[in-house]
Structures are given as C-alpha cells and as structure tokens.
Amino acid sequence: MKTLYFYLAMFAAVFAVSSANADVTIEVGEIITWVPTSKGHNVEFIAGPDGWKAPKKSKLNKVVEMQFDTPGVYLYQCSPHKSMGMIAIVVVGDGDNDISKAKVKGKSKKKLKALLGEL
C-alpha cells in the first residue's frame, strides 16, 4: 500500500489559480496525506460515492490522512478558499459516481466542470 502526500501550499498555489490538473487516481485501500506548508488551509470533503459518509472537515493547518476503502469519485475543497476554486477530485479504483451536482461556489463551479471534463 502506498501513501500519497499532497502539500496544501501547492494546492493553494497551483490548483486555485491555474488550469493545472487537480485530480488524482488511486487504488482502493491507498492513503492520501495532506500536509500543510502554509497557514490557512484545510480539507473538507463535499461529495463522494453513494453510502459513503464524509469525515468532518479538518482544522486549519493540520495534517490530514485518509484511507480510501470505497471505490468512487470524491470531491474536496479548502473551506476558507472554496469560492476561489480551491477544489480537487480523488478517483478511487473504477469510481464512476456522479458528483456534478455537488454544491460549490464562485470559481469552483467552473473548476468542477473542467475537472469532470478531464475524467
């Protein structure tokens, strides 16, 4: 089992203001760790596969680790910067659930549409 690390400062700098890919595909059982490298960021899941219960949003500036045991498409955001387009997708296994109706705001609407077009 491998662990992927995402650095939240990079998340802020790249994903919010560019058209760079903001998605990752992993296998069932893999772990992602989000590591804050600048202040003011967190991880909040806002959509996932049917029957999946989203974890509580993380506190600001805290390391977040999550193991993905359910195949599907997951959408998360940085709560303080959600209207700036700071969202991303995790695809686990052959996930194909529809997250297009997830409630996002501001620049995240356009970003979600672009991300879904890349899947």
Tens digits of per-residue pLDDT, 77-102? 999 988 988 899 999 999 889 999 99
- Which CATH number among 2.60.40.420, 1.10.287.130, 3.30.2310.20, 3.40.920.10 corresponds to the domain 3-118? 2.60.40.420
Q: What secondary structure does DSSP assign to 15-40, as a single string?
A: ITTS----EEEE-TT-EEEEE-SSSS
Q: Is 24 within 8 Å of 9 (Cβ atoms)? A: no
Would you place residue 112 in the very low, low, confident or very high pLDDT band (cuts 50, 70, 90)? very high
Q: For the chain, how big is the Rg over CA atoms in Å?
A: 13
Q: Is 53 within 8 Å of 26 (Cβ atoms)? A: no
Q: Is 15 within 8 Å of 88 (Cβ atoms)? A: yes
pLDDT for 28:
93
Residue 104 scores a pLDDT above 90 = yes
CA dihedral 85, 101, 48, 38 (to 10 degrees): 10
Q: Is 80 within 8 Å of 40 (Cβ atoms)? A: yes
Closest by CA to 90, choosing from 112, 71, 103, 74, is 74
Residue 42 scores a pLDDT above 50 = yes
Domain boundaries, the chain: 3-118
Mean pLDDT (the chain, rounded): 82
Q: Which amino acid is at 70?
A: T
pLDDT for 46:
95
For range 11-31, the mean pLDDT: 61
**Chain segment 52-81, per-residue pLDDT in tens:** 899 999 999 888 888 999 999 999 999 998
Q: Is 32 within 8 Å of 26 (Cβ atoms)? A: yes
Decide which of 4 and 87 is more confident: 87
pLDDT for 118:
84
Q: Which amino acid is at 90?
A: V
